[in-house]
Amino acid sequence: MKNTNRKINRKNSKINVAQKEVISATSESKSTQIKEDVSKVKSLNSTNAIKDIKTNVTNKATPATKSIQNKESTSYKPTMIKNNNSKKKTTTVKSNDKELDKYGRKINKFDITSFNSYLFHEGKNYEAYNILGSHLKTEKRKKGIRFTTWAPNAKGVYVVGDFNDFELDENYKLERISEGGLWSIFLIGLEAGCKYKYCIINKDGEKSEYKSDPYAIQSEIRPNTASIVYELNKFKWNDKKWINKRNKSNIFEDPINIYEVHLGSWKRNDDDSFLTYQQLSDELPEYVKQMGYTHVELMPVCEHPLDASWGYQGTGYYSPTSRYGNLEEFKILIEKFHQEDIGVILDWVPGHFCKDAHGLYKFDGTPTYEYSEEWRSENIGWGTCNFDLGRPEVKSYLISNALYWIREFHIDGIRVDAVSSMLHLDYDKSQNQWIPNKYGGNENLEGIEFLKELNKAVLKEFPNELMIAEESTSWPNVSKSNNGEGLGFNFKWNMGWMNDTLEYVKIDPIYRKNNHNNLTFSMMYNYSENFILPISHDEVVHGKKSLVDKMWGDYWNKFAGVRVFCSYMMGHPGKKLLFMGCEFGQFVEWREYESLEWFLIDKYEMHKKTQLFFKELNHFYLNNKALWELDYDKHGFTWLEADNNKQSILTFIRRSRNDEDTLIFINNFTPVVYYDYNIGVPFLGEYEEVLNTDDVRYGGSGQVMEDILISKKISFHNQPYSIKVKVPPMATLILKVKKIQKNNIEMPLTLKVFNNTDKNEEIVKIEDLK
């Protein structure tokens, strides 16, 4: 035994330093989480578990690094990019935790230390991308790149790239720096722009196919698959005004109307090539703003090999796809949205990943990012692998990834895809294909805990971030904690409403009376969650037809059906989402391999009028607090007539905290006009038509009301007053209170001019009011 006591003392001194670092951070932040970390580090001291972590990451130049310094590469000549991150001021929120070395100096967050390595292996390092991956660094006054990866069962790991002709070389072999499987090497002389992969030698000594870096922030455009060394923090943000506004907002009482977009097919160039991030930034944010949307939701932008997967089967979770440009150009697109006051939501897929050989699949030759049990890892329906959501290093990878997009790209919301598959052990499996949990149930306990940890971590650092669950079952407390327990999301897609209503609009109006509850049932459970009403990409593909083509009837009735349906949707409590192309009535289903059919707007009048309708409907939503201020408060919605199935008419009230904002919706889902239709109203006073989807400007038949309506002291629909209206065919009529008579003070009875009304009719109305 050589110097055993010295080694033990050195390890103990490292533990004491880590303790001091944590205690120092605790005194500054008073964080409960930090206190927990202190106790964990203390437990390491007593159990000798610190042996699992190497505290000295070698910075010595190998013969390879020395030779690289003197070697001129003929295959690539990248330029050195100076890292000005320390001087730059950005609006990115930084962690308050400070780790200090033994001299009390703050340790660079990119340094691999015993403490952040420990947190990584515990599943608690939520900045894992700062130590793993490739990083331009200066170590011992030498500039180079540090490569670090996680391969717990590997016998050896090499970095290969255009700097060594992608050949294995002992001089480029990574050193194992933790028992948990972290490998690292610092190579002097390499610069930004070099392409690289990892070659993993598995536990049997066999060489694997070269692997892309799971933590790479830039990747080659498909079909190439190499990772690219890139500097993360050289972009200077100019969206502070938006960030400040977002941080002060009340997400539950603000308008949220989302435009869902697939960047590769929203528009294309004349030669059918993709628009770049730069081209998109010149057009898309302005269009979304003009159309009256508040947010854009981007289908997954992480690197993925197959266009037809739409991004939902990824390989590079930290790389914005190179199909449209580089990392900075994507940031420019986001900044342009923010400058237009548009929030940006990303679709994100932490449930499963694709099985391409260069990706995460069996990364070190064994199940690494996926479950070790085949029945759990295999996602048969999608042909993918499920993430091992109980493995600590996988949790560090995924939670860090969510926060990476928020911190580094200023993303305003994350829609978590396929939550149901993460919650259920038997998701898409037959009876004999799964094993119950330790309590005998079908709940994936690890998935539940992961989602709770994810939401807790994100919302602790970014309280106003939109965390949206695409959850298709009746799982309780997804976005609300009604009994003290919940998954921690703040919004959930209302898939039940979507399925019920889209089935209804296909039905011939003659038979709709037998399916009336498809429109009304959603209000029975509306306040159990914070719902978003989605008409997403999934509803306009695979033979389901486009939104306009789902509608019953001939050409006119199909467009009328879209108008009445979407205006009913706008009146229903909950935030909104609509997929691109629906706003101008594209008849063909969405195809990811071609542009939307924008030519329809110029060629056919009805498509142009439909686009105008959506534009004005969206702005009407923005301008009326009754449609969003009390979305999740029962006082914001009142049924007037929910059960008129014979005429397929719905009437209801939407309110804000101000009575003068009150709106009354009359939705007619048949192509029949009804005259002198009596409805109850809450106030004595004047009402006016503020939106009618049957307006000829939108392609309707023109059955509008231009008269001011005066309520009578005749109770109806459980309201103290009532009015008579003309109900347009296959349309929505929206009334707004214009003047309220309060405290029994009679309203002024000055002579008013009513369009399409003669003087005698006006006198009758005044007499009725008296």
d(CA 563, CA 569): 10
Write out pLDDT tens, residues 510-529: 999 999 999 999 999 999 99
User: Is 417 one of the annotated active-site residues of the chain?
Assistant: yes
- The neighbour count for residue 511, using CB atoms within 10 Å, is 10
Question: Can you tell me which residue has the tokens 């009301």?
Answer: 705
d(CA 146, CA 228): 13
Token reading at 1: 């035994």
Q: Which residues of the chain have pLDDT under 70?
A: 1-108, 482-484, 743-770
Which residue among the candidates 412, 470, 529, 629 is catalytic per the annotation?
470
Are 280 and 301 contacting, i.e. CB atoms less than 8 angstroms apart?
no
Are 456 and 448 contacting, i.e. CB atoms less than 8 angstroms apart?
no
Q: What is the DSSP letter of 607?
A: H
Are 652 and 638 contacting, i.e. CB atoms less than 8 angstroms apart?
yes
Token reading at 467: 């965390």
Q: What is the DSSP letter of 526?
A: G
Residue 228's DSSP bridge partners are: 195
Provide the pLDDT for residue 336: 97
What is the dihedral angle through the alpha carbons of 408, 410, 413, 416, rounded to the nearest 10 degrees? -20
d(CA 193, CA 348): 27
d(CA 569, CA 634): 17
| Burial zone of 267 (CB within 10 Å; 0-12 exposed, 13-18 middle, 19+ buried) | middle
Are 314 and 214 contacting, i.e. CB atoms less than 8 angstroms apart?
no
Q: Tell me if the domain spanning 634-769 has CATH number 1.10.10.10.
A: no
Shortest CA distance to 225 belongs to which of 120, 319, 150? 319
d(CA 681, CA 739): 13
Provide the pLDDT for residue 308: 87
Shortest CA distance to 447 belongs to which of 408, 474, 420? 420
Are 261 and 577 contacting, i.e. CB atoms less than 8 angstroms apart?
no
User: Is 761 one of the annotated active-site residues of the chain?
Assistant: no
Token reading at 237: 């943000």
Question: Can you tell me which residue has the tokens 């392409």?
Answer: 195
The CA distances from residue 130 to 194, 419, 752, in Å, are 19, 27, 70
Q: Topology of 53-228 in CATH?
A: Immunoglobulin-like (2.60.40)
For residue 273, give the 3-state DSSP assignment: coil
Q: What is the DSSP letter of 307?
A: G
pTM over 0.95: no
What is the dihedral angle through the alpha carbons of 492, 497, 500, 501, rounded to the nearest 10 degrees? -130
Provide the pLDDT for residue 208: 87
Residue 44 phi, psi (nearest 5):
-60, -40
d(CA 354, CA 44): 37
Q: What top-level class would CATH report for the domain 251-349+389-624?
A: alpha beta
Question: Can you tell me which residue has the tokens 């796809």?
Answer: 321
**Strands of the sheet with 156-161, listed across from one edge:** 156-161, 195-201, 227-228
Are 640 and 679 contacting, i.e. CB atoms less than 8 angstroms apart?
yes
d(CA 195, CA 75): 11
Provide the pLDDT for residue 528: 94
H-assigned helices in 489-575: 495-504, 517-520, 547-550, 555-571
Shortest CA distance to 492 belongs to which of 535, 537, 536, 534? 534
Which residue among the candidates 417, 529, 641, 707 is catalytic per the annotation?
417
d(CA 89, CA 77): 30
Write out pLDDT tens, residues 304-326: 998 888 889 899 999 999 999 99
Q: Which residues contact 497 (CB under 8 A, 6 or more apart)?
A: 522, 531, 533, 572, 574
d(CA 693, CA 700): 7
Provide the pLDDT for residue 36: 44
Provide the pLDDT for residue 100: 56
